[in-house]
Amino acid sequence: MNKLTGKRVLVTRPKAQAAALIDRLTALGAEPVIFPTIEISALKDTSLIDQAINQLSAYQWVIFTSVNGVSAFWQRLTALGKGSNAFAGIQVAAIGPATAQALMEKGVQPSFVPDEYVAEALLPGLGEVRGQRVLLPCAEIARKALVEALQNHGALPEEIAIYHTLPSQPDLQALAELEKGVDIATFTSSSTVQNFFALLDGRAFELLKGVVIACIGPITAETAQKLGLTVDIVPKDYTVDGLVEALLKANLR
């Protein structure tokens, strides 16, 4: 027995990325309630990223901020007949262990992974970046904090959107499960929170009344708070494993 045994836990991650969280929760005796609020889709216009890939050697750094960014980038890399050797002589940074692992699985060893898994924590580990070209493959709507920080240090960041997050369309069965009630709601990105509210319109607060709100990191938590939620849990380690560990240690109501 543990604190999650018998708890109904809302999972809002996209289906393709939810397996690890669902498996952890199930192994701990929790009952995952799967209600994906976003879908990840590659952008149709790939001209800008294709141009960047074909000129990859012109960059000193490539920074990946998510697993989605790695996946979408490799789709284009493969389509252009290239592989991991395209990164020869280029330094690569990754935000978070999952992003780093995704790169290693593609044959690229990140030069730097910050201890804190937010964009702002990257800068100290990049060294002197003045005058250096930095490629940031990212979501269509991405935070500007890293770009601004790089610019302030004299770097030449080039942010190129390669995927976007779209509101998911959960089926009626998923909605019915959610309506039965949950004990804990997990949100793993700002988009998962925003689209939960978008999908459920005025019912979001009703469905989350009395529910423990757990966010994977401070940025997601800030988004949830701005939407009017009281965030109960934010792990010190901004990963799925960190989120589950924080749930196990929390005083769950």
DSSP code, position 211: P
Residue 209 is predicted with a pLDDT of 95
Are 148 and 198 in a shared domain?
A: no
Task: Supply the pTM of this predicted model.
Answer: 0.81
Q: Give the percent of the chain with pLDDT over 70.
A: 98
Residue 225 is predicted with a pLDDT of 98
Residue 119 is predicted with a pLDDT of 63
- Backbone Cα Rg of the chain: 19
Which of 133, 165, 197 terminates a domain? The answer is 165
β-bridge mates for residue 32, sequence order: 9
Question: Using CA atoms, how far apart are residues 208 and 227, in angstroms rounded to an integer?
Answer: 12
Q: How many domains does the chain have?
A: 2
The model's pLDDT over 42-91, given as tens digits with 9 standing for 90+, comes to 899 999 999 999 999 999 999 999 999 999 999 999 999 999 999 999 99
Q: In what order do the strands lie in the sheet with 31-34?
A: 31-34, 8-11, 184-187, 212-215
Are 29 and 84 in a shared domain?
A: no
Are 216 and 161 in a shared domain?
A: no
Summary mean pLDDT of the chain: 92
The model's pLDDT over 158-197, given as tens digits with 9 standing for 90+, comes to 999 999 888 898 778 999 999 999 999 999 999 999 999 9
**CA distances (Å), origin 150, targets 58, 90, 96:** 17, 17, 19
Contact by Cβ (8 Å): 142, 119: no
